[in-house]
Amino acid sequence: MTKDFSQYSSIIERFRGQVNQSEFEANFTHATKSIAKTERFLLKMEIKRLAQPCTRLIDLRGHVDGECKAYEHDKRTHFLDDIAIKVYQDNVSAYGSYTFGVYEAVNNTENNFRVIYQREKSGDLAPAITKQNKPKVFEKLQYPAKFYQFGNYADRKEERMNFAIPILITLTNDITIEATSSDISVHGCRFKFNEPQKIAVDDVIQIEFTGLTQDFQFGQQSIFEYQVKNLEHEDNIQFIGVQRLLDKPKDGFKQFLAGYIQGNKRRYKINLDNTIAALQARSLEQFTLPKSNELPIFMEASAGEYAPRYALTSNNNQSTYQYWQDELKHNTLHCLVSSSRVERLLRAAKLGRSLTVYSFIHQSKGKSYFYTADEKQLSQDKGFMNQFIGFAASKPSFAVTLLTILSLDKAKAYSPLTLANTLPKKDEYLNLPPSEDIEQRLSRTPYVVVALDITDEQIRQEYAQLSFEDIQTSKLKSFGHIRLTSPPVVDELGINYRNQRIEPRFVYKTPVEVEADGVNWIGKSQDFSVSGLKVHLEKSAVLTKGEIVNVSFPNLQKITSSFELKSLPYEVMRINKKKNILNLRVHVEKHQHIGRAFFKVLIEKNKDKLTKDEYADMNPGLSKALRSIYAHTLNVPSLFIQTSGSRYKIESIGSSSNQLPLLNQMKALSDRPNHYNLYPLLNNQQAISLMSNTLKKLQSGDAPITDTLYISIKHESELIDSAVTTKLASELKTTKLRKMFIDKALNNGRFYCILVKLSRTDEPDMEHLNPELSYIGSYAIHRGKQIEQEIWSVAGVIQCFDITQEVILRHQLLLQ
């Protein structure tokens, strides 16, 4: 039974951290002279126990009434709230290090749910939390979040070692200044000036490594030329990144640095900032793109005309893709993004605007006829504009689609892993650049048009208020699209990170026998490629990833005598939970794999007869290339919901650009540098409560939950809570209330209407992330574990679409 020392809390508090002092024994004896000898001995042992070093990690997420965050001290990462951090720092200061006394004090703060429950149960509430003395609870005004940029994953060609030594810098004006290096590589260096100096990008400077020349000799040359590549400022400190200018093919200093870094990089630690930033952004991108709610359409140019060629689909945008199909399931995206509409989109893009398209589908004699009109077309005849939209809104197939066009940079099709030259051979397929054929296809694809369907019942009802009485059918027919006998071919490609196929795969079922360690299983192939195979077994197999199995094809053996299709070695790459579906890859030991040779011949001779599987690209790698390009053009902020104990937190934003109107506003509202204040999006408690309750029930395959936020931000008010007002669409129940809110917001400052779509995320594909995660973990194991924990904590993603332009246009039309 644990001894209760609560009655001696004042004595324990007085002597915390003093057990190693010479006067401890005398002072303790004097202070406890009235206590019985046995009690005094136990109390002394307790004080000494509390002063013993502790190695336990503290995680208060879900255990305290407060927001917990990572707090690092003495190479340990704890998860503490603000109150616990203050208690931790106070006790570490008293004890001199992290001890059991610190650990127990942090786990017994007043806002700890266990402490509160115990006090309530005993009826002994502390004055700070009694009803009479309960402090006033102020509204939270800061929701800090860090921004992560998608697609911008710069690859360092060589490792950088954290290395701080004194150096002498000679600037272009021959002034010599003392500085300190922060990291160093074979061909580069980063250093800092404590006071800003007159230096510019591309300047050629000279560096003398005085901290090294004291211990090492570099021959006659001790001063080296470098070129300035980047400049950064933090407070009054100036950071400069430089690259070595080499004149000689054989360079002694280069050889010295290569050997010195290789021999000391574990001592001084490799600079992992670049890899960590890339991994964090890449993981968030992986959660976002498969949940894309907008439909990226890649446009192909031919003879001065534009036509849709590829579409990236996901579960969330599949309804938009299917809307643009006729009764025969033929694609009709050319009706939405015609060549003439692309020209109007390009003109709108120069003004930073999107294009709103109104559409409906007329059914006649079992055939589908598409009608579309965009705001620019209709603005030429204001009277007919109202009639067309009102008529369209009366149809069950009415849709409102926002189109945005972006230039395509084919160089963005390749998103290499950082420090790719350190990858083991088994992971090289994750880092393959696009093939020449894919690059040729992309060279004919100058633009990507992003389509977002924003139609909901409220929008339909509001547009339906527009009268279409006496509509001229001749004008209406001019917006109908002719049914083409040969419509442009549009290839649908899925956004899928788990599909890392580098070869075409074909659906083919044939009996298969699998053997491992004398145990046999019977099954059928589901599909195959030259180097891979998917097998469905009749019974579960006791196999794990990485095992080598022997595969035989009895029926295929009957049709060939040129190949021995028995006991062919394959490696298990993936196995499902039921242990009856295997993904296999050829395992080559010494000689050519017979299975690979056989399937290669089989495919070449039967290309026209074989059926490609549903995920097979016409060209392997095309989906990955288009996905990478889309990541670079995704101008939609995404908020990431992470689990924190039994609660949720939102502390990360992801997008390809941070130069978006609402993001700029949220950055201006933040009290922390390089952070964004999500107050405009998260201050509505009704919305947050609805989100939390919904996410707990949501499955990853479910359709996203949609809502609309009306946001007003006053210019003149300095107080955030009075400057920002956020309402759900359901709180502004009528068109009149919405109009009043919009008018008031525009008169006092800025108005934003944000369409939010909440999705449950899939599990991360760690195979895609492990190369960089393993590299980080090899040099900073605690940091690697923390990042991995953060990756697995992502439970949901909220995409925030700015539909302000359409909302203002709609309410202007309703006033006419």
pLDDT tens per residue, range 495-543 = 877 655 566 778 888 999 999 988 999 999 988 888 888 999 999 998 9
Tokens at 385, concatenated? 């504009």
d(CA 454, CA 806): 10
Residue 65: its pLDDT value, please? 78
Query: Using CA of residue 773, residue 777, residue 780, residue 786, what is the dihedral sign?
Result: positive
Residue 249: its pLDDT value, please? 67
Residue 144: its pLDDT value, please? 92
Q: Which residues contact 633 (CB under 8 A, 6 or more apart)?
A: 296, 406, 408, 448, 450, 656
Tokens at 469, concatenated? 């009485």
For the entire predicted model, the pTM comes to: 0.69
SS3 304: coil
DSSP state, 289?
Answer: G
Q: Are 226 and 242 in contact (CB under 8 A)?
A: yes
pLDDT band at residue 163 under the 50/70/90 scheme: confident
Q: What is the mean pLDDT of residues 354-380?
A: 95
| Across 216-220, 377-381, 620-624, 704-708, least confident range | 216-220
Residue 127: its pLDDT value, please? 41
Q: Are 772 and 418 in contact (CB under 8 A)?
A: yes
Residue 41: its pLDDT value, please? 83
Check whether 129 has a pLDDT greater than 50. no
727: closest CA among 677, 685, 693?
685
Residue 155: its pLDDT value, please? 62
Residue 659: its pLDDT value, please? 87
Q: What is the mean pLDDT of residues 130-154?
A: 66
Check whether 379 has a pLDDT greater than 80. yes
Residue 334: its pLDDT value, please? 95
Check whether 128 has a pLDDT greater than 80. no
Looking at per-residue pLDDT, the higher value among 299 and 559 belongs to 299
Residue 1: its pLDDT value, please? 39
pLDDT in tens, 189-229: 999 998 888 899 999 999 999 888 877 876 667 889 999 98
Check whether 107 has a pLDDT greater than 60. yes
C-alpha distances in Å from residue 291, one per residue of 218, 313, 483, 543 = 56, 9, 32, 32
Residue 681: its pLDDT value, please? 94
Domains of the chain from N-terminus onward: 6-129 (no CATH), 161-269 (2.40.10.220), 293-494 (no CATH), 506-616 (2.40.10.220), 634-815 (no CATH)
Check whether 134 has a pLDDT greater than 50. no
Render 397-452 in DSSP notation, one character per residue. Answer: T-EEEEEEEEE--GGGG--PPTTGGG--GGGGGGGPPPPHHHHHHHHT--EEEEEE
Residue 283: its pLDDT value, please? 94
What does the buried/exposed string (b/e) look like for 772-793 if buried means 16 or more CB atoms within 10 Å of the residue's CB? bbebbbebbeebbebbbebbee
| Across 112-121, 397-406, 606-615, least confident range | 606-615
Q: Which residues contact 774 (CB under 8 A, 6 or more apart)?
A: 784
Check whether 125 has a pLDDT greater than 50. no
Tokens at 665, concatenated? 């506003």
Q: Are 97 and 53 in contact (CB under 8 A)?
A: yes
What is the distance in angstroms between the CA of the first residue and the CA of the last residue of the chain? 81
Burial class (CB in 10 A: 0-12, 13-18, 19+), 657: middle
151: closest CA among 285, 288, 293?
285
Check whether 2 has a pLDDT greater than 80. no
Q: Which residues contact 450 (CB under 8 A, 6 or more apart)?
A: 294, 295, 296, 297, 403, 404, 405, 406, 633
| Across 510-519, 608-617, 658-667, least confident range | 608-617
Rounded to the nearest integer, the mean pLDDT of the chain is 86
Residue 768: its pLDDT value, please? 82
Q: Are 357 and 333 in contact (CB under 8 A)?
A: no
Check whether 365 has a pLDDT greater than 50. yes
69: closest CA among 137, 140, 143?
143
Residue 498: its pLDDT value, please? 64
CB neighbourhood size of 366 (10 A): 6
Q: Which residues contact 803 (CB under 8 A, 6 or more apart)?
A: 402, 454, 708, 753, 754, 755
Residue 218: its pLDDT value, please? 67
Q: What is the mean pLDDT of residues 299-307?
A: 92
Check whether 620 has a pLDDT greater than 50. yes
Distance of CA 244 to the CA centre of its chain: 34
Q: Which residues contact 277 (CB under 8 A, 6 or more apart)?
A: 148
pLDDT in tens, 452-502: 999 999 999 999 999 999 899 999 999 999 998 888 889 988 887 765 556
Dihedrals phi, psi of 756, to nearest 5 degrees: -110, 135
Residue 429: its pLDDT value, please? 67
C-alpha distances in Å from residue 282, one per residue of 234, 769, 794 = 26, 8, 13
pLDDT in tens, 5-29: 777 777 888 888 788 777 788 888 8
Check whether 738 has a pLDDT greater than 60. yes
| Across 180-194, 232-246, 394-408, 641-655, least confident range | 232-246
d(CA 524, CA 518): 19
Residue 700: its pLDDT value, please? 86
| Across 376-380, 440-444, 591-595, least confident range | 591-595
Q: Which residues contact 591 (CB under 8 A, 6 or more apart)?
A: none
